[in-house]
Amino acid sequence: MPTTAKKPVVKASKNNRQQRATTTGQKTQKNTAEDNGSKLEEFFHGELKDIYWAEKHLLKVLPKMSKAATAQELKAAFNDHLKVTEGHVKRLEEVFNALGYKPQAKKCEAMAGITKEGDDIISKTEKGTSTRDVGLIFAGQKVEHYEIATYGSLTQLAKTLGHDDVAQILNSTLQEEKEADESLTGIAESSVNQKADQE
Ligand SMILES: [Fe+2]
| pTM for this entry | 0.81
Q: Is the Cβ–Cβ distance between 132 and 126 less than 8 Å?
A: yes
Q: Is 111 helix (H, G, I), strand (E, B) or coil?
A: helix
Distance 21 CA to ligand 1 centre (A): 32
Instruction: State pLDDT tens for residues 36-74.
Output: 668 999 999 999 999 999 999 999 999 999 999 999 999
Neighbouring residues of the ion ligand 1, judged by CB less than 5 Å: 85, 88
4 pLDDT band (50/70/90 cuts)? very low
| Statement: residue 166 has pLDDT above 60 | yes
Sign of CA dihedral 90, 94, 97, 103: negative
Higher pLDDT, 173 or 15: 173
Phi-psi region of 100 (alpha: psi -120 to 50; beta: other; left: phi over 0): left
| Statement: residue 105 has pLDDT above 80 | yes
Q: Which whole-number Å values give the CA distances from 85 to 7, 58, 92, 143, in the listed order?
A: 52, 7, 11, 12
Domains for the chain: give ranges and CATH numbers: 38-190 (1.20.1260.10)
Contacts 24+ apart (CB under 8 A), 21-30: 30/100
31 pLDDT band (50/70/90 cuts)? low
Distance 28 CA to ligand 1 centre (A): 35
Which pLDDT score, from 0 to 100, does residue 135 have? 96
| Statement: residue 5 has pLDDT above 60 | no
What gap in Å lies between CA 133 and CA 173, rounded to an integer?
A: 25
Distance 88 CA to ligand 1 centre (A): 5
What gap in Å lies between CA 29 and CA 36, rounded to an integer?
A: 14
